Homo-oligomer: A and B are copies of this chain.
Amino acid sequence: MQTIADPNRLQKLILDEKQKNKIIGFVPTMGYLHKGHLQLLRTARSQCDILVLSIFVNPTQFGKNEDLGRYPKNIDADMELAEREKVDIVFFPSTKTMYPDNFSTYVEEKSISKLWCGAKRPGHFKGVATVVLKLFNIVQPDIAVFGEKDYQQSLIIRKMVKDFNMPIEILTCPIVRENDGLALSSRNTYLSPEERSCALLLKKALDYACDRFYKGVREADLIKSGMENILLNGNCARIDYIACVNNDTLEPKKILDSADRILLAVYIGKTRLIDNCQLP
């Protein structure tokens, strides 16, 4: 396994490999890898010749009062996990290399990214789209793999790739959860033991929604108010949004259909967690 910090060096190396007909697989991350990331790496590994993992805490996707400064890091553990997953190249650039002082060009998706997390975190998806475009141009992947916990993000990346005619196949992997149901996230590390218990309410609310739908309830408002009750019951969570949406457009729905999706963002203390599920 090689670690490369210089974008130009990585790009040259990859273009050489592509010349030899190698399939490039790519998993972009902000590091502090967990089993969700490992699932992405395994999915990519099984479909490519050269597997590239990027570790870059992207400042442009954090809002002013968000957790950029305290985002968790453990590069040694990440390297060990990457090695174990047979990653070929870890791309670990500095912020200065990715965003030199006079950096001035951005990507903006103007439809899906205005909804939900986009509305709550202005500029977030612009930062995501911009860094992913940069990473795609550096790594030149044939396949890139994203997690469905960030479901809205995965749709925006797909949209960018389609709108910009990029020759890249985007794959997504289902959410990986702890045994008790909590969706894996690097941000779970922020939670105190009490908050960790409270965080289980997200999955509980999503399970409730699926169960109600399964039993025949179709009215989004009914399902949402039941979810609200569950989330607010413990007096430990603050709802950022609950959204019942079309699975492809993320437009809100009044009457739910099979394969629609429920999206959830909830503050547990100062930690903002997201989760989602597709209706049966």
State the A residues within 8 Å of B (CB): 7, 11, 15, 18-19, 21, 102-112, 129, 133-134, 137-138, 140, 159-160, 163-167
Contact = CB atoms under 8 A, between A and B. Distances in A.
A164 B134 contact: yes
A22 to B, nearest CB: 11
B11 A133 contact: no
Given A105-B108, A105-B159, 6 more contacts: A19-B21, A103-B163, A105-B160, A106-B110, A107-B107, A134-B163
Nearest to A20: B19
Nearest to A7: B165
B107 A112 contact: no
A111 B106 contact: no
A67 to B, nearest CB: 25
B137 A167 contact: yes
B108 A102 contact: no
A11 to B, nearest CB: 6
A111 B102 contact: yes
Nearest to A114: B104
